[in-house]
Chains A and B, each alone.
Chain A
Amino acid sequence: MAAPDLRAEVDSLLLQLLQDLEELEAKRAALNSRVEEGWFSLSKARYAMGAKSVGPLQYASRMEPQVCVYISEAQDGLQKFWLVRPSAQTPEEVGPREAALRRRKGLTGTPEPESFPALQDPLNWFGILVPHSLRQAQASFREGLQLAADMASLQIRIDWGRSQLRGLQEKLKQLEPESA
């Protein structure tokens, strides 16, 4: 590839990198805000429920993750994070169970997995009736998690862009001595 074409490609890559960095910082500012809002809500909840009522003492002894990340890979090798909530898949399992209940077949001995999502909501660790501030805290941190996934994708993109840039700059250096 000729030097001018390479330079054009380096330029466009640099521009993309700068854009990605800007977007990363915007997402970071948003994440920091969500987290700060979340802490404030936790403090309000603590004020309502008692100083020792919102903390590690309330953590469940068994936890199932309600949210996880999937990583997809594009053809050029660039990876991206997707935040997924597995509980969104449970409606498919509800059908057969309802049918079984209607037939009144009695207990099959299985532990009713469909009811787990409600039981596993971490809000339940803190009591049956929790103050609104605790729900607000949960909402803030959930939004924060989506932003975190976006930021992780951007970080990967920036790393990938850096390695592409280094490759192009190496090629340019090889061409440049000839033109000097």
Chain B
Amino acid sequence: MAGRGKLIAVIGDEDTVTGFLLGGIGELNKNRHPNFLVVEKDTTINEIEDTFRQFLSRDDIGIILINQYIAEMVRHALDAHQRSIPAVLEIPSKEHPYDAAKDSILRRARGMFTAEDLR
């Protein structure tokens, strides 16, 4: 285990972000962009997408936690992310329970088991 530790980032609603920040993942200082984004009613999809892409391009973020209903808004960006790191984990929100059918990682895994591949 060499090198500096990587951060865990979170893009979520108020309670999700507050909870994970309580868990101790937050980084906020004047030198760098924060590793979290609270998505509120007036947060635009562009803002969410910009933040997500920014997190993907940073080499100091290892995991991105994102509420699934927010992941749906930027699904194209998630599907385009083919690298294993940072790992993107979709989590439910209070109003939107987790749906495995929408998860990018699981959809890709399901694609492995087509009849042709297994012949």
A interface, CB within 8 angstroms of B: 14, 17, 21, 25, 28, 31-32, 35-36, 38-39, 42, 54-56, 59-72, 79, 81-82, 84-86, 121-123, 134, 137-138, 140-142, 144-145, 148-149, 151-152, 155-156, 158-160, 162, 165, 169
B8 touches A155 (CB 8 A): no
Is the Cβ of A137 less than 8 Å from the Cβ of B19?
yes
Q: Which listed residue (B6, B35, B38, B63) contacts A56, Cβ 8 A?
A: B38
Total residue contacts A-B, CB cutoff 8 A: 146
Least CB distance from A43 to B in Å reads 8
B residues at A contact (CB < 8 Å): 1, 3, 5-8, 14-29, 34-35, 38, 62-63, 65, 84-85, 87, 89, 91-92, 94, 98, 100, 105, 108-109, 112, 117-118
- List 23 A-B residue pairs with CB atoms under 8 Å apart, sorted by A's residue number: A17-B109, A31-B89, A31-B91, A32-B91, A55-B18, A60-B26, A63-B27, A63-B29, A67-B23, A69-B6, A70-B1, A71-B6, A79-B84, A79-B85, A81-B63, A123-B22, A134-B22, A140-B19, A145-B23, A145-B24, A152-B63, A156-B87, A158-B109
B22 CB to nearest A CB, Å: 4
* Contact indicator A144/B20 (Cβ below 8 Å): yes
Residue of A nearest to B27 (CB): A65
SS class of chain A's interface: helix, strand, loop or mixed?
helix
